[in-house]
Amino acid sequence: MWNNFKNGFIKENPVFGLYLGMCSSLAISTSLNNAIGMGACVTLVLIASNVIVSAIRKITPDEIRIPVYIVVIASLVTVVEMVVHAFMPELYTSLGVFLGLIVVNCIILGRAEAFASKNGIVASAVDGLGMGLGYTFALLLISITREFLSTAGLHFYNPFNSEQLLFGFTIEALEPYTISLFSASVGAFLTFACFAAIFAILRNRSSKKEAK
């Protein structure tokens, strides 16, 4: 169970290892707020969908299991979207259409089919948590890199009150050297490529150690 949890960070990281959920990862990773907000939403949906799919796996006919999984995921995403819209309107606006597109995020349906449909509730919940945190970890790496390189600082605002700065700094000495490219879509691809290469190296080293 512990291996399933930690695999979501390096070996089977959804973004840098399995290359899933790429659209939202690259599109909304312009700031810490977006990364943490999307990561939290995906993690909640992953845990809940894994638990529900695991609970109904024995009574779900194989012929309709995928449509059933999609209905479960869509229902959960709708609830999360409504909560975010009601209590965190700024985050809802920032995430835009990508919040609703969690329904078709390959990570969630993939874990439901590959793991939750074959394992118990507790193990499925742990798997969902590990994959969700791994996805959030990847978003944080991309967003921190992009925001720092494009603004020479990092800022995190209260998701319930966008005017309240919870954490932030700007290195004035680096402001003349900011790279605005990283606030654009091409910056997202460059950042992703660099981290994907780093994670590939880490996985290769881990595989060689296991082989020995």
Q: What is the pTM of this model?
A: 0.91
The predicted pLDDT at position 212 comes to 65
Residue 83 in tokens: 């909560």
Cβ neighbours for 178, distance < 8 A, ≥ 6 positions apart: 149, 150, 151, 152
Tens digit of pLDDT for each residue in 11-29? 888 899 888 888 888 888 9
Tens digit of pLDDT for each residue in 133-174? 999 999 999 999 999 999 999 999 988 887 888 889 999 999
Residue of 130, 121, 95, 119 lying closest to 23 (CA atoms): 95
Expressed as residue numbers, the domain containing 177 is 2-211
The predicted pLDDT at position 4 comes to 66
The predicted pLDDT at position 104 comes to 79
> How many domains are there within the chain?
1
Residue of 46, 121, 37 lying closest to 87 (CA atoms): 37
Give the residue ranges of the chain where pLDDT is below 50. Answer: none
Give the C-alpha separation, 85 to 83, whole Å. Answer: 5
Residue 148 in tokens: 């720092």
Q: How far apart are the first and last CA of the chain?
A: 24
